[in-house]
Amino acid sequence: MSNFLRMMYGRYGVDNLSKFLFSLYIIIFVIGLFYKNFILDTIGLLLLFIVIFRFFSKNIYKRTKENQIYLKIKNKTLKPFKNIKRNFKERNEHVYKKCHKCKTTLKLPLPYERGIKHAKCPTCKNKITFLCLRKQKIEIIKDNERMKK
Ligand SMILES: [Zn+2]
C-alpha cells in the first residue's frame, strides 16, 4: 500500500474533463458491443489512453488548465439550455423567463390561469410578455368523504 501511495504522490488524478472523456469512452464501448467499427474502437482506446495519461500525469498545472478550458466550453454550450432545465425541474412552482433587453433571467411564480402573461423586469423596467402553458396546481390536503357520494 505504501508503495502505491508513493507511486501516486504528486499525480494529477481525476477531474471533470477526465470524467467526461471516460463517459464518452463508456458510450463508445457500449456501441462497440453492437456495432463493430475500427474508427470507433480507435477513438475509444485513445480516450481511455488520455484518461489514464491525465490520471498519472505529474504536470498538475497543465492538466488544471485543460480542465478549466473544458469547463468554460461546457458552460458556454449548456447556457442556452439552463432555463429549459430550470423550467422542467420546477415545472409546478416557477416560470423562468429571460429579459430580452438586458438578458437577466427572472424567476416568476406560476400563474393561476394559463395564457399570455406580463411581467416587469426589475433591472431594466422592460415589460416582458410571454405565454405560460402551466398553472399553479391546487393540492388537496384533506379529502372530504361526504362530498364523494
Ligand atoms: Zn431587463
Distance from residue 68's CA to the centre of ligand 1 (Å): 30
**Tell me, what's the pLDDT at 53?**
97
Number of H helices, E strands in the chain: 5, 4
Q: Are 100 and 145 in contact (CB under 8 A)?
A: no
Cα of 21 from ligand 1 centre, angstroms:
38
Q: How far apart are CA 89 and CA 5, in angstroms?
A: 42
Measure 123 CA to ligand 1 centroid, in angstroms.
5
Ligand 1 center from residue 40 Cα (angstroms)? 47
Q: How far is the CA of 72 from the centre of ligand 1 (A)?
A: 25
Ligand 1 center from residue 62 Cα (angstroms): 40
**Reported pTM:** 0.66
Distance 73 CA to ligand 1 centre (A): 26
State in Å: Cα 139 to ligand 1 middle.
33
Can you give the pLDDT of all 149 residues of the chain as single tens digits? 678 888 888 899 999 999 999 999 999 999 999 998 999 999 999 999 999 999 999 999 999 999 999 999 999 999 889 999 999 999 999 999 999 999 899 999 999 999 999 999 999 999 999 999 999 988 888 887 776 65
Burial environment of residue 61 by CB neighbours within 10 A (0 to 12, 13 to 18, 19 or more):
exposed
Distance 124 CA to ligand 1 centre (A): 4
Q: Where are the domains of the chain?
A: 2-78, 90-132
Average pLDDT over the chain, rounded to an integer = 92
Report how far residue 57's alpha carbon sits from residue 106's, in angstroms, rounded to the nearest whole number. 44
